[in-house]
Amino acid sequence: MNERVREILSWYGSDNPGTKTNLARMLNHGRLGGTGKMVILPVDQGFEHGPARSFAPNSPAYDPDYHFQLAIDAGCNAYAAPLGFIEGAAAEFAGRIPTILKVNSANSLSTNKDQAVTASVDDALRLGCSAIGFTIYPGSEDQYEMMEEIRELSLEAKSVGLAVVMWSYPRGGKLDKAGETALDVCAYAAHMAALLGAHIIKVKPPTDVLWQPEAKAAYEKANVDKSTLAARIKHVMQATFNGRRIVVFSGGEAKDLEGLFTEIRGLRDGGANGSIIGRNTFQRPRADALDMLDKIIAIYQGKM
Amino acid sequence: MNERVREILSWYGSDNPGTKTNLARMLNHGRLGGTGKMVILPVDQGFEHGPARSFAPNSPAYDPDYHFQLAIDAGCNAYAAPLGFIEGAAAEFAGRIPTILKVNSANSLSTNKDQAVTASVDDALRLGCSAIGFTIYPGSEDQYEMMEEIRELSLEAKSVGLAVVMWSYPRGGKLDKAGETALDVCAYAAHMAALLGAHIIKVKPPTDVLWQPEAKAAYEKANVDKSTLAARIKHVMQATFNGRRIVVFSGGEAKDLEGLFTEIRGLRDGGANGSIIGRNTFQRPRADALDMLDKIIAIYQGKM
Amino acid sequence: MNERVREILSWYGSDNPGTKTNLARMLNHGRLGGTGKMVILPVDQGFEHGPARSFAPNSPAYDPDYHFQLAIDAGCNAYAAPLGFIEGAAAEFAGRIPTILKVNSANSLSTNKDQAVTASVDDALRLGCSAIGFTIYPGSEDQYEMMEEIRELSLEAKSVGLAVVMWSYPRGGKLDKAGETALDVCAYAAHMAALLGAHIIKVKPPTDVLWQPEAKAAYEKANVDKSTLAARIKHVMQATFNGRRIVVFSGGEAKDLEGLFTEIRGLRDGGANGSIIGRNTFQRPRADALDMLDKIIAIYQGKM
Amino acid sequence: MNERVREILSWYGSDNPGTKTNLARMLNHGRLGGTGKMVILPVDQGFEHGPARSFAPNSPAYDPDYHFQLAIDAGCNAYAAPLGFIEGAAAEFAGRIPTILKVNSANSLSTNKDQAVTASVDDALRLGCSAIGFTIYPGSEDQYEMMEEIRELSLEAKSVGLAVVMWSYPRGGKLDKAGETALDVCAYAAHMAALLGAHIIKVKPPTDVLWQPEAKAAYEKANVDKSTLAARIKHVMQATFNGRRIVVFSGGEAKDLEGLFTEIRGLRDGGANGSIIGRNTFQRPRADALDMLDKIIAIYQGKM
Amino acid sequence: MNERVREILSWYGSDNPGTKTNLARMLNHGRLGGTGKMVILPVDQGFEHGPARSFAPNSPAYDPDYHFQLAIDAGCNAYAAPLGFIEGAAAEFAGRIPTILKVNSANSLSTNKDQAVTASVDDALRLGCSAIGFTIYPGSEDQYEMMEEIRELSLEAKSVGLAVVMWSYPRGGKLDKAGETALDVCAYAAHMAALLGAHIIKVKPPTDVLWQPEAKAAYEKANVDKSTLAARIKHVMQATFNGRRIVVFSGGEAKDLEGLFTEIRGLRDGGANGSIIGRNTFQRPRADALDMLDKIIAIYQGKM
C-alpha cells in the first residue's frame, strides 16, 4: 500500500481492520487508486427523480449493468446505487469494483423532507458491498430521526467491517434555497456528518453566502477566506476534522463541460478528496461520459 | 428447465437458490409454464372492497376453495390472497399451485392512504407459500413507512427463500386521478418497486398522460413513444431494469371481453410478462371465467 | 370426537394440533359440547363501562369467582375476560372450563376509538387459557394499528397452539350509528376478521340497513335476502368463508326475555354457531341467569 | 406465616412463588406485619413537584438515607421511590425494609398528562426491590399508551418474581377536577388497575360525587351507600374483585392531624388495606412524623 | 486511593465495580486527581452551534487531536465529545485521559427542543470511554421521550461498567428565558437528573430568580438563602441527595477572566464538585487556555 493511502487510513484509528480494508479497497481501486483522490459514480436519480428524467437522455442507462460497466471502464473508485440496482448486477460484476449500497431514498412524488430506509446492512453484506450510503437532511423537521437511523445503521455497519458514506444535504426547516448551499451551512453539514461517524462525506460545493447570522459574525471576525471555490473547499475540509476525513463533492447543477472542469479544479485546489458525479455522467452517450471522466481524473491527477 | 425460464432466473443473480426455486415454481406452473409469461389470480377484493361487492355477483366465490380450484383448473401460474383465504384452503390444496401471501391490506371503510400489515413471513412459510405480496402507494403521505415495512419483510423473505411481489399503485399526496395512471408516474412506480428489490412487479396499464412537468419535458425531449398501449408497456418494461424484472399488469376497470382481450394483446405486444386478473375472473360464472382465462392464455401464447 | 366437531376442525387445516386441540376443547365443553354450537360468557364490561354499571345490578358479580362458577353451572362452552379477572380465579378453577383471555380493552373514560393492549400471549399460556380474544374497530382511525397488533399476537398465539377469537365491531371514521350495525358493514367486519386469521368471530346481529352505496348496489343487484334476521345471519355466515368459520353473535341491546329468545332463534335459523352473552347474563340474579342460559341452550339444541 | 397473610396470598393464585414471596415480605414487615394492613412510605414528590417544595419544610429529607431510616424506624411495611433515591441508599439499607421501585414519573414543568418510564424491571432486580410501582392516568389522552407500558413491565416483573403496585389516578381527557375523585371514577380506576393485573392498588379516597351520568344512574338504582367515607371505601374494595385485591389509599391533601386520623379511621372501617402517606410524613420534623405514623398504625391496629 | 475519592465512591453503593472503577478513573485523573474536584473539557459546540462559530476563533481547534492534547496538558479530569471527535483521536490518545462519549446532540439548524441520539453504549465500549454523556431538557415537550431514552442507555451503560453523566438543561414548554436558569428550576433539573440515576450531573449556575409560584412559596417559607452564588450552589448540592452526587457546573456565558474566576470561586465555596468548561477554553489561544485552566484548577485547590 502506498504512503498516501496509509496516511488516510491512519485517520480512522477507531475502526476495525474490516472497515479499514473496505476503505482501502475504495482508495486503491481505479485510475486514482493510491492517490488519495476518488471519483465515485452514484446512480440513485432513478429513485429520486424518476426513471425517464434520469435515463431517457441516454436510454442504455436503464440497465443496471450499464453503470457497473461504465464505472469500471472509466476507472472510478466505486459505484453507489439503491438496492435493486445493486441486486440487478452484483453477481455478474462481483469483485470488479467496490460498491456502496445506498440504504435510504427519497422520491419526487413526496412532499416531506425525509427519506425512506430502503435497504439494510445485511443487504450490503450479502451483496458484497464495501460501504453503506445514507442521506441526512440537516435542518429538516425529520433530521433527528434520520440521524438516529444512521446511528443504528452505522454502528451495525462498522461492527461488520463496512465503511459508512454520508450524503449531507441541508434542507427543510428554516432553510431557504440560498441557505442550502451557503458556505457556513455546507461546512456545518459536513462537520455534523463527521461527528456522526461518517468515513466518507458527500456535500455540495458551497457558494459564498453566509446564512446563519451568528455564523456570519464568526466568519467575518475570523476573516475566513471565501473568495474562491478553492478557498471555500479548503474551509469545508478544515471543518471536517482539519482535513482528516474523506470529503467528496457532488457535481452540482448541469453545466457545460468547461464549467464542470473549472469547478473540479477548484475542488482539487481546495484539497477535496474527489467527486461523486451522477447525472453529468450517465446522461451523456457512453463515449462522451468516458471522455469526461477521463478528463476529471486527469484534473485530480494534476495533469490538466 | 427451458431456456426462457433459465434466462429470466439469470436476472436474479443476487438471490439465493431458495428464492430462485420459488420464482421457477411460479414461472413453470400452469399452461404458460416455461414461456416466461404468467397469469396470476389475485383475490384480495374481499378485504379491499367488502365481501358482497366482491362475491355476490358469483356467490360460490365466497368460499376459499373456489379460487384455488379455479386457478388450478384455468392453468394459472399462481394464486394470491390475504392470510385467511390462504389459511382456509392451503392444506387441502397443498402442492397443487404456487401461492402468494398478500401481507398487507386496506379496506374501503378507511379514509387514509395506507395499508395494514396483516400477515408475516412466518405465516408464508408455515402455509407453504412461494412469495409474499405487498402493496406500496408511491406518492401517499405514508409511502415512506410502507417502503420501510417492505424493506424489512423483503429482507426476511429473501433470507428464507421466498420471492417478493410488489403491487405499486401511485395515489395520495400531490397525485390526482389522472396522475395515478399517467405513463410517467406508472413507470416511476414500477422503477421504484424494482429498486426496492421486488422480483415481480404489478402495476396498472398506463394512459398516455404525462403528469410531472419535469418528467413531461424529459419524455418529450427524448421522443418516448406513448401512442399505443404496446408502446407504453414497452416503456414501463424499459423502466424496470431494461426489461430484466418480471412485470405483470392488472386488468384495470371492468370492460367487455373484447375490450379486455384487446388490452391483453397490447400488454403482450409491449413485452409484459403477463396479467394479474381478479374481479374480471371470479365475478363471472365459473364456466365463463375459465373460458375467458383460456383466451387470455391463448393471447400470451400468441395463438389469438 | 363426534362428526360435527370433526367437520368444523377440518375447516382449520392450516392450524397446528395445539390450536386444533384448543378449538376442540371449546367445541366439546358444556351442554352444547359436540353440537358445533357454542354459548360463551364474556365479562369485560367492568373494563369497558366501569364496575358499578356492570355489577351493581347483581353485586355478587363483583367477584371473579362468580363468573367462572356461573359459566360452569350454566354449561357454557367457554368464559372470556380481561387479565385481572382471569388471574383472580384461574388457579381455583383450573381445568374446569376453557378460558379466553381478552388481550385488549377500552374504557368509557376515553374519547378515541381504539383499545389498549392489556395482556400478552405469555399471560394466556401461564394462565392455562385456550384462546386469546382481541377487538378490532373496522373503520376507526386506528383500525390499521389494531390490525397490526392482532397480526403479531395472532401469529404468536397460533405458534404456541392457542386459538384466536376476534370481536369485530365497526365504529369511528366515516361510520355513523346506522352504519355500525348495517348488514353490509357487519358482513364486511366478519369477513375481515376471517381474512385476518380469526378462528372464532364475534359480531353483532345486523339490521337490514345497507350503508356503503357501492355495497348497496351489489346487494340489490344480487338480490341478497335481508328480510329476516335469519336471512341476514345466513349472509354473514356466507361472508365468512361460506360458513367455514365459527361465528358467534353478541346479545345486542338489553331487551325482554322473549325478545332475546326470538333473536336467538333467528341466529340459530340463520346458521350462527352460537351466542356470546354478557350483560344479559350476569346482571340478573344467578338463578334467573341460569334459567335464561338454560333456555338459550335449549334453543340451540332445537328444543325450543 | 399467620392466617390473614395466608388468606391474602390465596387471592393471588395465578402468581409464581417468587411474587408471592415478595408480597409476603411486604405484608409481614413492620409493625403491621401479619395483620393484612399496610402503611407504605412513598417519596416521589421530589420528581413530581420539585425538591424544595418537597423537602425544604424538613431539610434532612433531601437525603435518600433519611427516608429509608424513617420508614424503618416507623415500622412501615415498605418504602417506595424513583430510581435515584433507591440507588442512593439501597446498598446501605439492604435487607432492612422491602422497597418498591417507582418506574415512571411526571414532573410539574410538563404540561401533558403522561409520565416518563424512568426505570426498568432489571433495575428493580439489581437493587433488591420487592415490587415495581407504576402510575396510570385513566381518562388521559395517553392512558392507553400507559396501559401498554405497564402491560409489558408487569408481565416482565411477574415472570421474575416481583410484585406490581399501581397508582391509579384519573385525570385528563373529559375529566374535570370533581371527576378525578368522584366515587364512580375512583372505583372505576381501582377496578381497571385490578383488571390490568396489579397486586397492590393505590387510589385516592373518593368523594361522594357521582360523575359519569350512566354510572350515576346505576349507583342510584342499586342504592349504593355513599354517605360516609367508610361506605365509599367499602364500595371501592368491592369494585376490586369483591375485596380480593390489596388496596391502599393516599393521604390526600394536607390537613391537620385530627382530620387525618379521622380519615384513616374511615379507611379502616371501610376495609382498606392501608395507607400510603408521603408528604404528610416527611415534611414534618422526624419526631413528629414518627409520632404521627405511630398513631396511624395504632388506628389500623384498632387501638385508636 | 485517597480518602475523599473513597468517600465519594461510597455514595454510589448501588453500582458495580466496573462503574465505580470508571468514576474513580475520572476522579483520580489530572491535577485535581484525588481531591474530589473535577475540571472537564467538553467539546460538543461544533455539533450544537456549527464548526466556524466554535473553532474559527482558534483554528487549530478544528482538529480532534487538539482537544485531547489540551485536556491532557491542562491536567483535566476528563474529555467529553460526540462520536466523531472521539473516533477521530481515541486510538492515538488511548489510555491518556478518561473520555465521556456524548451520545445525544442537537444543532442550531433545528427548531424543536429535542436532541438526536447519535451514539450508543457499544460505541462507548469500543472506543474505551469511561462514561456516556446525555442531555435532557426538563420542561420541553419532548422531555419524557428524552428521559425514556436515557433510561435505556443508562441501564445498559451501568450494566457494562460505564458511568453516566447528565447535562440537565431546562428549556421549552412553559419555561421562559428567566425560568431556564432560575434557582428553583435549576435545583429541580439537578434533582431529576439524580433521580434518573446520573452519577455526574451538569447544570448551569443558577440566578436568584424563583420561577414556579408554588416553589417560590416553599423557598420563602423555608428561608432558603439565595443571596450569593455560593449560597445558591449550596442549595443545588443539597437538592442532589444532600450533596451525595457529583455536580459540575458549566461556564455560563462568555465573560472576562476575572468574572469567570469570581464565578468559579462561588462554585467552589458553594461546594460544587467542579466545572465543565468548553467555549471559554478552546476558543482562546492554547497558551491562554492553559493559563486559564491552571488558575481554575488553582481555585479548586484553594490556592486562589
User: Comparing C254 with D233, which gets the higher pLDDT?
Assistant: D233
CA distance E65 to chain A (A): 9
pLDDT of residue A254: 60
Q: Burial code of D98-123, b = ≥16 C-beta within 10 A, e = fewer?
A: bbbbbbbbbbbbbeebbbbbbbbbeb
Query: Residue A109 and residue B198: Cβ atoms within 8 Å?
Result: no
Residue whose cell numbers read 475520572 = E26
Return the SS3 of E130.
coil
Inter-chain residue contact E224 with D87, CB threshold 8 Å: no
Q: Which residues contact C36 (CB under 8 A, 6 or more apart)?
A: C4, C5, C7, C8, C27, C273
Q: Does B169 qualify as catalytic in the annotation?
A: yes
In Å, what is the CA distance from D232 to each residue of C176, D184, D218?
Answer: 39, 10, 15
Range list of H helices, E136-256 = 143-159, 177-180, 183-195, 213-221, 229-239
What single-letter DSSP state applies at residue D205? P
* Cβ-contact D55, D62 below 8 angstroms: yes
Helix (H) or strand (E) holding B274: strand B274-276
> What number of other Cβ atoms are within 10 A of residue D231's Cβ?
16
Cβ burial of E64 (10 Å; 0-12, 13-18, 19+) is buried
Helices (H), chain C: 3-10, 17-28, 45-49, 51-55, 64-74, 83-87, 121-126, 143-159, 177-180, 183-195, 213-221, 229-239, 257-270, 279-282, 286-300
Decide if pLDDT at D147 tops 90.
yes
Taking the C-alpha atoms of residue C235 and residue B51, their distance in angstroms, rounded to an integer, is 10
The pLDDT assigned to C1 comes to 61
The CA distance from A256 to A15, in Å, is 40
What's the pLDDT band for E113 if we cut at 50, 70, 90?
confident
| H/E element, D26 | helix D17-28
Residues of C annotated as catalytic are 169, 202
Q: Count the Cβ atoms, other than its own, within 10 Å of residue A137.
A: 25
Q: How confident is the model at residue D2 (pLDDT cuts 50, 70, 90)?
A: confident
* Residue E123, pLDDT score: 98
Q: Which residues of C touch D (CB under 8 A)?
A: 46-47, 49-53, 55-57, 59-60, 62-64, 82-92, 105, 107-112, 114-120, 122-123, 126-127
pLDDT tens-digit map of D275-304: 999 999 999 999 999 999 999 999 999 998
Q: For residue C3, what are the contacts with CB-CB under 8 A and spacing of at least 6?
A: none
The minimal CB distance from C111 to the residues D173, D215, D242 is found for D173
CB within 8 Å of B16: residues ≥ 6 apart: B158, B159, B161
Mutate to test the interface with A, among B11, B14, B19 (most CBs of A within 10 A): B14
Interface mutation vs chain A, best among E85, E86, E87, most A CBs within 10 Å: E87
Cell of C267: 341466529
CA dihedral C13, C16, C21, C23 (to 10 degrees): -50
Q: How far apart are CA E240 and CA E206, in angstroms?
A: 14
DSSP characters over B93-125: TTTSS-EEEE-EE--TT--SS--EE---HHHHH
**What ranges in D29-63 are assigned the alpha helix state H?**
45-49, 51-55
> Is pLDDT above 70 for A1?
no
**What is the largest distance, in Å, between two alpha-carbon atoms of chain C?**
56
CB D37 within 8 A of CB D27: no
Other CB atoms within 10 A of residue C190 CB: 30
Looking at residues E39-66, what average pLDDT do you find? 97
Q: Determine if the pTM surpasses 0.90.
A: yes
Going by C-alpha positions, the residue among B118, B133, B126 that lies closest to residue C198 is B118
Q: How confident is the model at residue D46 (pLDDT cuts 50, 70, 90)?
A: very high
Size of interface B-C (CB pairs under 8 A): 138
Q: How far is CA B11 from CA B8, B172, B193, in A?
A: 5, 32, 15
Give the residue ranges of chain B where pLDDT is below 50.
Answer: none
pLDDT at D44 exceeding the cut of 70: yes
State phi, psi for C175 to the nearest 5 degrees: -70, 135
Across all residues in chain D, what is the average pLDDT?
A: 96
Which residues of chain C fall short of a pLDDT of 50?
none
Please tell me which of the candidates A57, A60, A108 has its beta carbon nearest to residue B222: A57
The length of chain C, given as a count of residues = 304
Q: Give tens-digit pLDDT for E245-286.
A: 999 999 866 678 999 999 999 999 999 999 999 999 999 999
Cell of A117: 430506509
How big is the CA angle at E202 (ends E198 and E208), to the nearest 5 degrees? Answer: 125
**Structure confidence by residue, pLDDT tens digits, A276-299:** 999 999 999 999 999 999 999 999
Q: Output the furthest CA–CA distance in chain A (Å, rounded).
A: 55
- Cβ of D241 within 8 Å of Cβ of C59? The answer is no
Of the residues B79, B169, B188, B300, only one is catalytic, namely B169
Q: What φ, ψ does residue C250 adopt, rounded to 5°?
A: -75, 165
* CB contacts, 8 Å: C144 with chain B: 110, 112, 114-116
Q: Which of C278-282, D50-54, E54-58 has the lowest mean pLDDT?
A: C278-282
Model confidence band, residue E1 (pLDDT cutoffs 50, 70, 90): low
CB contact under 8 A, B155 and A120: yes
Instruction: Report the amino acid identity of residue C69.
Output: Q
Q: How many CB atoms lie within 10 A of CB A144?
A: 22
Gap between the Cα atoms of B32 and E56, Å rounded:
70
Q: CB E122 to CB A155 under 8 A?
A: yes
Is A242 within 8 Å of E62 when comparing Cβ atoms? Answer: yes
Q: Do chains D and E touch (3 or more CB pairs under 8 A)?
A: yes
CB contact under 8 A, A116 and B147: yes
Q: Report d(CA D71, CA D40) in Å as an integer.
A: 8
**Measured between CB atoms, which of C148, C155, C173 is closest to B123?**
C155
pLDDT at position C253 is: 65
Confidence category of residue D253, pLDDT binned at 50, 70, 90: low
A147·E118 Cβ contact <8 A? yes
Q: Kindly identify which residue of chain A lies nearest to residue E43, measuring between CA atoms.
A: A195
For residue range E156-189, list pLDDT tens digits in order: 999 999 999 999 999 999 999 999 999 999 999 9
Contacts of D105 in chain E (CB under 8 A): 147, 195
Of A191, A214, A235, which to mutate for an interface test with E (greatest number of E Cβ within 10 Å)?
A: A191
Q: What letters, b where the CB count within 10 A reaches 16 and e where it falls short, cover D72-86?
A: bebbbbbbbbbbbbb
Q: By the 8 A CB rule, do C229 and C267 touch?
A: yes
Inter-CA distances, A165 with A143, C14, E104, Å: 17, 46, 20
Cross-chain Cβ contact A90/B14 below 8 Å: yes
CA of C256, closest CA in chain B: separation in Å? 33
Q: Tell me what pLDDT residue C254 has.
A: 60
CB A135 within 8 A of CB A104: yes
pLDDT at E223: 97
Residue A82 pLDDT:
98
